[in-house]
């Protein structure tokens, strides 16, 4: 039992570390967010597709059964990633990642509206804690300030990700996680094709090493490990362990980008992550 728990902890932690590299990569890759996400998805299509074929997942059957859900969840995934990477460009890793990580609390507010489940009063307290945390993330909450705009984009990213997760949970929950990601990556690629004609791609060849890392390690391997971890534990348990992801992201940004979050942002981020962990603990 202890060995299984250790393996599960290692699996989720490794997945969180891989996914957390998106922050540093998003800041480092010298391309517009739309182009980065198109390249990320294009690479992931081949890696995830190969994995799904190797695992003999019924891709054609899944697509025929869930094509509408896969289409709309894929579009939401694309918006989530583009707004998140734009937030990274506008602010910094700490602000962008922590604002996106409000999505678990956004989810509990959306579920009563979308799924008609009972609303729990404790979520009002959690919502207040999140709002205070968000306010503390940026030193000067000003709509003319890039840091504030980055924060708002991060919150939009959290909203679209929360809706995407609810859609996956309710419409296509019987599919393998890697299969869902594979089809969503195809949708994102198609959805972002116009970006290739509107944004500069002259220096894309010099960015391929980072783009390959983003597509293979961050996206394909990271999300596959996270999806596999859900098979051996509850969603709440995985969500709690996955809360370390922004911490990894901030540490990586400190090591590779020399980004040091302000003390006020650390307090706000701690409040956000504490709320996410408390919500996860309630569901255990």
* 146-159 mean pLDDT: 96
Residue 228 in this model has a pLDDT that exceeds 90 = no
Residue 37 in this model has a pLDDT that exceeds 60 = yes
DSSP secondary structure, 11-52, as one string: HHHHHHHHHHHHHHHHHHS-S-HHHHHHHHHHHHHHHHHHHH
Contact partners, residue 29, CB within 8 Å, separation at least 6: 36, 207, 210, 211, 214
Residue 4 in this model has a pLDDT that exceeds 80 = no
Q: Identify the pLDDT of residue 171.
A: 82
Q: Which sign does the torsion angle of CA 239, 243, 249, 255 carry?
A: negative
Q: Identify the pLDDT of residue 233.
A: 62
Mean pLDDT of the chain: 91
Q: Identify the pLDDT of residue 120.
A: 86
Answer yes or no: are the C-beta atoms of 175 and 66 closer than 8 Å. yes
pTM over 0.85: yes
Q: Which helix (H) or strand (E) holds 281?
A: helix 263-282
Q: Rounded CA gap, 186 and 5, in Å? A: 35
Q: Identify the pLDDT of residue 38.
A: 98
Q: Rounded CA gap, 11 and 226, in Å? A: 7
For 218-254, letters b (16+ CB in 10 Å) and e give bbbbbbbbbbebeeebeeebbbbbbbbbbbbbbbbbe
Q: Rounded CA gap, 246 and 97, in Å? A: 6
What would the pLDDT profile of 79-96 be if each residue is shown by its tens digit?
999 999 999 999 999 999
Backbone conformation region of residue 258, classed left if phi is above 0, alpha if psi is from -120 to 50, else beta: left
* 254-263 mean pLDDT: 94
Q: Identify the pLDDT of residue 67.
A: 94
Which among 96, 102, 94 is positioned nearest to 33, based on CA atoms? 96
Answer yes or no: are the C-beta atoms of 32 and 26 closer than 8 Å. no
> pLDDT band at 153, cuts 50/70/90?
very high
> How many residues are there in the chain?
284
Q: Identify the pLDDT of residue 232.
A: 62
What does the radius of gyration of the chain's CA atoms come to, in whole angstroms? 18
Return the minimum-mean-pLDDT range out of 59-68, 225-234, 237-246. Answer: 225-234
What would the pLDDT profile of 158-200 be if each residue is shown by its tens digit?
999 999 989 988 888 789 989 999 999 999 999 999 999 999 9
């Amino acid at each position: 039992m202890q060995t299984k728990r250790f393996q599960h902890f290692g699996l989720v932690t490794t997945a969180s570390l891989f996914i957390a590299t998106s922050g540093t990569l998003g800041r480092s890759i010298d391309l517009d967010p739309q182009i980065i996400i198109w390249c990320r998805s294009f690479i992931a299509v081949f890696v995830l597709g190969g994995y799904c074929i190797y695992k003999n997942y019924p891709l054609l059957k899944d697509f025929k059964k869930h094509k509408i859900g896969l289409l709309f969840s894929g579009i939401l995934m694309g918006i989530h990633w583009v707004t998140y990477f734009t937030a990274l460009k506008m602010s910094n890793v700490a602000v962008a990642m922590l604002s996106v990580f409000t999505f678990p609390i956004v989810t509990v507010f959306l579920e009563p509206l979308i799924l008609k489940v009972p609303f729990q009063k404790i979520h009002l307290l959690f919502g207040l804690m999140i709002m205070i945390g968000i306010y503390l993330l940026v030193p000067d909450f000003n709509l003319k300030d890039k840091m504030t705009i980055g924060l708002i984009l991060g919150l939009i990213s959290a909203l679209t990700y929360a809706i995407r997760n609810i859609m996956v949970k309710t419409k296509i929950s019987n599919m393998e996680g890697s299969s869902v990601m594979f089809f969503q990556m195809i949708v994102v690629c198609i959805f972002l094709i116009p970006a290739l004609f509107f944004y500069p791609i002259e220096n894309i060849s010099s960015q391929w090493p980072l783009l390959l890392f983003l597509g293979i390690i961050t996206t394909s391997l990271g999300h596959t490990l996270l999806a596999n971890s859900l098979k051996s534990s509850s969603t709440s348990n995985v969500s709690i362990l996955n809360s370390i992801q922004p911490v990894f992201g901030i540490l990586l940004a400190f090591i590779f980008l020399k980004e040091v979050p302000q003390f006020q942002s650390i307090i706000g981020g701690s409040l956000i992550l504490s709320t996410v962990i408390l919500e996860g603990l309630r569901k255990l």
